[in-house]
Amino acid sequence: MKVKCRMDTVKELPKLKKLRHEMKKVLKESRYEHTLSVAYTAANLASIYKVDVPKALVAGMLHDCAKCLTDEERLHICYEADIPVTPLEKKQPFLLHAKVGAYLAKTKYDIEDRDILQSIASHTTGRPEMSNLEKIIFIADYMEPGRDHAPNLDTIRKEAFTNLDQALLHILTDTLAYLNSTDGEIDPQTELTWKYYDKLAIKQQF
């Protein structure tokens, strides 16, 4: 049986090939391997939840495109491009790689799709009312096969393929628990996202 290829997928293939080569040039080998794994994990999730697979691949391929920059470079881009910087991000500029990544995806890698850009921007903290693509990139980044240190990964991986919101909430809960246990500073956006999806989960129980 022949598998039919959608035309939009065919059109995206050259862009994906180019982006893959670009990421290989700018990222460290371990980060590049992680990037490929996130992209392919995102594509698998996208096929299950009827999200555009090429968009998931592009978002996954570019989600860490600003990881290659120094903290100083990330801050400089934010100031030059009027990207808001929170007090925590100013203190820990590595947290800016998501926001700056979305900016680079648009200005350097010619990505115009707003859902892809938002997925890159929100892949570390999440946000209330995320699109399915945003959830997929957030989850894929956390659970791709190369990840092995986070708690409850086996459970989260199973949840991801049956209930995106459940997997998302599980990740947020574990992340906040870890930060609290280590006295790590919590990004207010992460806590806001957790509150939103925790409240949503409670509503769905009734």
pLDDT tens digits, 1-37 = 333 344 344 456 668 999 999 999 999 999 999 999 9
| Strand, coil or helix: 185 | coil
Lowest mean pLDDT among 7-21, 42-56, 113-127, 148-162: 7-21
Residue in 42, 77, 75, 85 with CA at minimum distance from that of residue 187: 85
pLDDT of residue 106: 97
pLDDT bin (cut points 50, 70, 90) of residue 204 is confident
Q: Span 127-156, mean pLDDT?
A: 96
At residue 22, the pLDDT reads 96
Q: Which residues of 166-176 are buried (b: 16+ CB within 10 A; e: fewer)?
A: bbbbbbbebbb
pLDDT per residue as tens digits for the range 66-102? 999 999 999 999 999 999 999 999 999 999 999 999 9
Average pLDDT over residues 40-59: 96
Domains and CATH numbers, the chain: 7-147 (1.10.3210.10)
**Are 102 and 64 in contact, with CB atoms under 8 Å apart?**
no
